[in-house]
Amino acid sequence: MFSSLKSLCILALGLVSIASATAAPRPTNLVFILTDNQGAWTLGCYGNPDIRTPNIDRLAAEGVRFTHALSSNPVCSPTRATFLTGLIPSQHGLHSFLDPKFMMGPEAYNTLQEFTSLGEVLRDAGYTCGLSGKWHLGANMTPSEGFTTWTTKPDGSTMEFYDQKVIENGQIRVEPGYTTDFWTRKGVEFIAANKDRPFFLYLAYNGPYSLGKLMSNESKNRHAAYYADKPLQSFPRDAMHPWQHDNKAFHNTDAARRRMASEVSGVDDGVGEIMAALKANGLEENTLVVYTSDQGWMGGQNGMWGMGDHFRPIGAHEQMMQIPLIFRQPGAIPPAQTCDALVSNYDFMPSVLAQLGLGDKMPQQPKSPGRDFSPALRGQPLANWDNTVFYEMETTRAIRTARWKYVARFPSGPYELYDMQTDPQERFNQYSQPGTEEIKADLAKQLDAFFNLYADPKYDIWKGGGSKAKRHVP
């Protein structure tokens, strides 16, 4: 009898061992950290000598940093929609930031409801999906797009970072603490609660946020005292650009520079806490961490402060478009890499899904212009990569190639043409210079071909289409 039992136990243990050896590995978690209004140039790992960002810099040192990542639009709702769908504004219909009435109240609705978004793809693949932070895509009170954990803001803009309204557990309340810390804390809680299952954390900070009246107010966070007497020479001093339309009150002011620096460092603290939470829960090697921003931002370059919608005509300057983009996963992504390819935020979704082994789940309708740059994450070359990206906001469109930037505005300009190799700061508009006719014609042809291929007639403003958001330029 004992011998038979012993044999059965050995057999059972053998079957368990075989099952364990052949069981599919647990899917890789995704932590997607998205900041609000942050140019890549504000980070130490992108060369900033003034602003302290040790945790984000470490993230870059342990993974891959993209040096030429650009957003397809210069404001938050369109770019957030693009990150989550792989679609451009002329496809998802958000050409500018969403009106408050569509976020809260009887007219509120989810602007992504007709599309299959990243959260829905991951939910269907068995992930638990959680949002902590800014949504700004409509129906803010209601969890959607695959998310079951939902802590957000009732609005899109940021008036301040203390004593602000948040939505938690389906209720609106005032959060008395620092909201950057609050979003981090909810993210840490989500990681701990879901450590035993695949998860997608969308940590969408509403900082550093470099706009509006708060830029004239001193920061109250833990970094304010450090920056209080710093000159912050990385913020260029220049005469105000004639196209500057908004943000004039704090142009070239120390208060605004120090406020921005303090809030960037506040976000960096949050990144450090998230990384510590992953380590504490034994999840570092099984979690893909992405750090980026919804769009770029200018803090004095060429006499400009802000993004495209703060200028008339609407701007398409490089620093309004350039975003930080960092990927980190020990064991899967080699450390200390940089990738110099031109990539866009519409490339994000297909690349992340491919890296997670879900590339075949990328939605095919509408057809995304996004391309898969995931080989670069693994240290492989991007074979046959088309080093071209496109940009649009309402009547302004642009194409950026390895050498040239061409900006067109419907219906009659003004137009811009820059040689990005000899003039990376875009100081000299060559559009009217003799000898550029062939270059302009080729770039205009490429620009038209791209939007003719991808734009939905409903949202193709150049051809009479509309926008889900209020227009800045009629």
474 domain-assigned: no
The secondary structure of 308-351 as a DSSP string is GGGBSSPP--HHHHB--EEEE-TTTS-SSEEEEEEEEGGGHHHH
386 domain-assigned: no
Structural domain of residue 255, as residue ranges? Answer: 26-379
Residue 448 has which token pair? 């038209």
Q: State how far the alpha carbon of 164 is from the alpha carbons of 176, 260, 322, in Å.
A: 7, 19, 29
pLDDT of residue 367: 98
Q: How far apart are CA 431 and CA 418, in angstroms?
A: 8
pLDDT of residue 63: 98
pLDDT of residue 23: 56
Please tell me whether the peptide bond between 54 and the residue prior to it is cis, using omega within 30 degrees of 0.
no
CATH number at residue 292: 3.40.720.10
User: Which of 249, 280, 261, 286 has its CA nearest to residue 26?
Assistant: 286
427 domain-assigned: no
Q: How far apart are CA 60 and CA 46, in angstroms?
A: 9
Alpha helices in 75-166 (DSSP H): 76-85, 89-92, 118-124
User: Which of 418, 409, 327, 342 has its CA nearest to residue 374?
Assistant: 327
Q: State how far the alpha carbon of 222 is from the alpha carbons of 228, 262, 291, 465, in Å.
A: 11, 8, 22, 47
Q: How far apart are CA 5 and CA 250, in angstroms?
A: 81
- Under 8 Å CB-to-CB from 40, ≥6 apart: which residues? 46, 69, 293, 296, 322, 323, 324, 325
10 domain-assigned: no
Q: Give how far the C-alpha of residue 172 lies from the chain's centroid of Cα atoms, to the nearest Å.
A: 26
- Mapped onto helix, strand or coil, the DSSP state of residue 76 is helix
Q: Which pairing describes strands 199-208 and 29-36: parallel, antiparallel, or unpaired?
A: parallel
83 domain-assigned: yes
Residues 29 and 130: beta-carbon distance below 8 Å: no
Q: How far apart are CA 379 and CA 361, in angstroms?
A: 23
Residue 158 has which token pair? 């940021």
pLDDT of residue 99: 96
User: What is the chain's pLDDT, residue by residue, as a tens digit (474 residues)?
Assistant: 444 444 444 444 444 444 444 456 899 999 999 999 999 999 999 999 999 999 999 999 999 999 999 999 999 999 999 999 999 999 999 999 999 999 999 999 999 999 999 999 999 999 999 999 999 999 999 999 999 999 999 999 999 999 999 999 999 999 999 999 999 999 999 999 999 999 999 999 999 998 888 899 999 999 999 999 999 999 999 999 999 999 999 889 999 999 999 999 999 999 999 999 999 999 999 999 999 999 999 999 999 999 999 999 999 999 999 999 999 999 999 999 999 999 999 999 999 999 999 999 999 999 999 999 999 999 999 999 999 999 999 999 999 999 999 999 999 999 999 999 999 999 999 999 999 999 999 999 999 999 999 999 999 999 999 999 999 987
Q: State how far the alpha carbon of 79 is from the alpha carbons of 71, 94, 202, 365, 459, in Å.
A: 7, 9, 15, 19, 15
User: Which of 371, 325, 323, 329 has its CA nearest to residue 351?
Assistant: 371
- Under 8 Å CB-to-CB from 407, ≥6 apart: which residues? 316, 396, 397, 398, 415, 416, 417
Domains in the chain, number: 1
Q: How far apart are CA 277 and CA 279, in angstroms?
A: 5
413 domain-assigned: no
445 domain-assigned: no
Residue 382 has which token pair? 């991007």
pTM (predicted TM-score): 0.95
Q: How far apart are CA 62 and CA 68, in angstroms?
A: 19
